[in-house]
Chains A and B, each alone.
Chain A
């Protein structure tokens, strides 16, 4: 049995009197999409930051299997190593595109930057790759030289995805990737993300409060409440036959249209 791509074990994090995460363990394999759902304040974003190495847990550990098969503990990574992983092997799609993009740099520059971090120096190839990725996320390549602040919300989010995926990462963290977008824009974006996950065999950890998004993008799910995982399993089973009172409440509170 080979080790999981990412494994979290006994993760705890406390902010003063608030226990944001309590004893959380799970694993994710290549090509799997795991959703973390719960209401605001349930600890889901803290959990995402812990496993992405953006925050240090009070207790527990996160292990990641690198491309050469070595299992690395997050706490053993130097800051430089963690940054290198973040630029190559991992992606992070923020709800707020401003956190995931550099607004002063052109769209092409935003995408090219990650390629350069991998050592690519050939301007023509970087530009061609960037143009190709823009089209792949359904943005016309003639917007390559425009800065992201000229883009609409949905386009910024797609640009952020292109920037993250250009280096063919193995694991992508997503924090409410469709949050704050118009419903009409959300649907296309969801379809795009779903297609890319399938085509590239990406592993994804997705934080969302939107159960419909979790259903469409993930195959496994963790339900969080007050810093704990209270239910987990197959996404459609947890949503269609929820076991705990809280999950039943969450599922039954969604407006059906």
Chain B
């Protein structure tokens, strides 16, 4: 096992994951094996490989959403490292509040809650006072070109691209030092993609590390400091 260095935000090593489907006769679906990579401060690491190869699963394991079968996921917590693989639920919850954020592919929220309230709630969780949280939400939604007339409306009726921008604003509302992005630009047009790329670059410059999946070639070319080919770790047939 390697010893993580002080510039590392995330060190993943020896990570295995398989799903056991008890409702289908205990069928075992191996996903990835012996995954290994690091993300340094201010670095944008992009997971690459064909669809079904296990990229999203790796993101979910890092965020604590999926349980790994083996391996370590060391997340920088001040001058210590927290192993998400073996951490208690409480430690993971705390890490999600303070250290790592996640932007999923699809927005999942309580119905009928206005877009700006969704983003402001995330900023509140990040420690801002109600007014500051609202201001931060407004500034993020403005930067992401979400029309102000939509702010007071719940996102359920928004277009895919509009929902995705609310989702991104929510993910960027806190002060996380590691952001995990699952295709945040998938349903965006060129102008809005630019806005997201800018937002990411800015946070990178201030030291935030990114672990991301981008399908868009242009976005990858502009943001990726390193690409990791997940096929090399994949146990699925897609590899």
Contact = CB atoms under 8 A, between A and B. Distances in A.
A163 B89 CA distance: 31
A234 B113 contact: no
Contacts of B64: 234, 237
A240 B121 contact: no
A252 B22 CA distance: 11
Contacts of B124: 198
Chain A CB within 10 Å — which of B64, B89, B113 has the most? B89
A206 to B, nearest CB: 15
B168 interface: no
A219 B65 CA distance: 12
A233 B113 CA distance: 27
Given A187-B112, A191-B113, A248 B89 contact: no
Interface SS of chain A:
helix
Given A240-B65, A245-B23, A187 B110 contact: yes
Interface residues of B, number: 20
A29 B93 CA distance: 13
Contacts of A29: 90
A187 B121 CA distance: 16
A77 interface: no
Contacts of A244: 22
A72 B223 CA distance: 56
B92 interface: yes
B144 to A, nearest CB: 23
Interface string A32-44: 1000000000000
A156 interface: no
A234 B92 contact: yes
Contacts of A191: 110, 112-113
A251 B120 CA distance: 30
Chain A CB within 10 Å — which of B66, B111, B121, B125 has the most? B111
A136 interface: no
B204 to A, nearest CB: 27
A219 B95 CA distance: 13
A245 B19 CA distance: 12
A190 B110 CA distance: 8
B22 A245 contact: yes
Interface in A165-222: 184, 187-188, 190-191, 194-195, 198, 216, 219-220
A237 B19 CA distance: 13
A243 interface: yes
A171 B26 CA distance: 40
Given A234-B64, A234-B93, A237-B66, A248 B23 contact: yes
B89 A234 contact: yes
B99 to A, nearest CB: 15
Given A237-B67, A244-B22, A219 B110 contact: no
A198 B121 contact: yes
A1 interface: no
Interface in B13-45: 19, 21-23
A81 interface: no
Interface string B191-220: 000000000000000000000000000000
Interface string B66-79: 11000000000000
B60 interface: yes
Contact of B89 (A194, A219, A245, A252): A219
A248 B27 CA distance: 13
B198 to A, nearest CB: 30
A220 B65 CA distance: 12
A236 interface: yes
Contacts of A249: 22-23
Contacts of B67: 237, 241, 243
B104 to A, nearest CB: 10
A216 B118 CA distance: 13
Contact of B23 (A184, A195, A252): A252
17 contacts: A29-B90, A191-B110, A198-B121, A216-B110, A220-B89, A220-B90, A220-B93, A233-B89, A234-B65, A237-B66, A237-B89, A240-B60, A241-B19, A241-B67, A248-B22, A249-B23, A252-B23
Interface of A: 29, 32, 184, 187-188, 190-191, 194-195, 198, 216, 219-220, 233-234, 236-237, 240-241, 243-245, 248-249, 252
Given A187-B112, A198-B125, A241-B66, 7 more contacts: A29-B90, A32-B90, A198-B124, A236-B65, A240-B60, A240-B65, A241-B67
